[in-house]
Amino acid sequence: MSEASRDFYNYSYSELTELLKTRFDASTFRATQLFEWVYRKGVTDFDLMTNISRDLRAKLAEFFVFPKARIADRQISVDGTRKYLFEVEQGDLVESVMIKQPNRMTLCVSSQVGCAMGCKFCRTGTMGLKRSLSTSEILRQVNGVIEDAKNFGDSFQNIVFMGMGEPLHNFDGVTRAVRNLTDRHGYGMSPRKVTVSTVGLVPAIRKLAASDVAVSLAVSLNGTTDETRSKIMPINDRFPISELLDAVKNFPVGPRKKVTIEYVMLGGITDTEDDMRRLSKMMRGLPVKINLIPYNDNAGLGFKSPDRDWVFTWQRYLNSQGQQAFIRWSKGADIAAACGQLATESKKTSKLPVIEQAAA
């Protein structure tokens, strides 16, 4: 039996229930107990799971493994943001970031080693794609940060899939991780507190919309014309703005919930007055809120930041037109933890195909 099939973190609640029934002749309630021990209490030693019979504990201990997150490095920014370098399987490295925000912490996790999307303003895109992470490798980042956060007396309230990689390019790994994050027997997080970001894989957005996975969605728009957006985001050649916004329009959102439109303002490229007015017009009638992200030129990719006052002008204009617009200033720039800065020395060895259509 493969190591992956014995990895507890790769199992959903329903899969664990079925495994316990068929392999161990155990009841559904045992799956509930195991999920609560592992995800709610952080206990992976079966000897400590005292509400489970000793005989069953021994059998489970022979079967399951709980791979640990190995923190290869941790850096702390002057603003309190922490960046973690995790070593996952095959010696690959990925980064996660605990973002310090007013009154809360947000955990940003990676979904791939590198990225195939090739966005020109993102350092991760310069790596190319090596591979997607397993559900376990994603959740181990979460577990590792939970454990390390005890050293700082804090914890995160939100999780965003905005680290290395395109989350919806790793659809199965990410959605399975989301299920365990939001399962009431698992981490028990509200779907409103877990956000999956995408550069605009339209078929995958529609596939997510049609699934039973409850999660918040963020879409990186970053341009108001196909010509400009295609220059900085090659994915736009496959799925232009009109198709992307149609998918956003039809994405299911709950009461008082909106899709987040992420808009990176590249000085002199995507931050013109015409862009500002076009963006406002494009957003009318859509269930969205807008995050304006002033580009962090510390990424060293040849782009520049917009004028600070001009960013506020954009926000005021969008708000005056009935949109909800917020400014998301970069955190952790001094440790290369800001938006678009994440990259490691892992080398590209293979490339997965971009999703062309939703699976049946």
The helix or strand, by DSSP H or E, that contains position 28, with its residue range, turns out to be helix 28-35
Q: Which two tokens stand for residue 139?
A: 């959740």
Does the active-site annotation cover 339? yes
Q: Which two tokens stand for residue 271?
A: 């931050």
DSSP state at residue 163 = S
Strand order across the 93-101 sheet: 70-76, 82-87, 93-101, 104-108, 158-161, 194-198, 216-220, 259-265, 288-294, 325-327
CA distance 127 to 113: 9
Do 138 and 81 meet the contact criterion of CB atoms below 8 Å apart?
A: no
List the catalytic residue out of 115, 119, 122, 339.
339
Taking the alpha carbons of 229, 233, 238, 239 in that order, is the dihedral positive or negative? negative
For residue 339, CA distances in Å to 6, 139, 220 come to 35, 21, 12
List the catalytic residue out of 18, 89, 95, 147.
95
CA distance 112 to 118: 13
Closest by CA to 248, choosing from 275, 213, 285, 214, is 285
Does the active-site annotation cover 356? no
Q: Which two tokens stand for residue 151?
A: 């050293």
Residue 242 dihedral angles phi and psi, to the nearest 5°: -60, -40
Q: Sort strands 82-87 and 112-114 into parallel, antiparallel or unpaired.
A: unpaired
Which residues does the annotation mark as catalytic? 95, 339
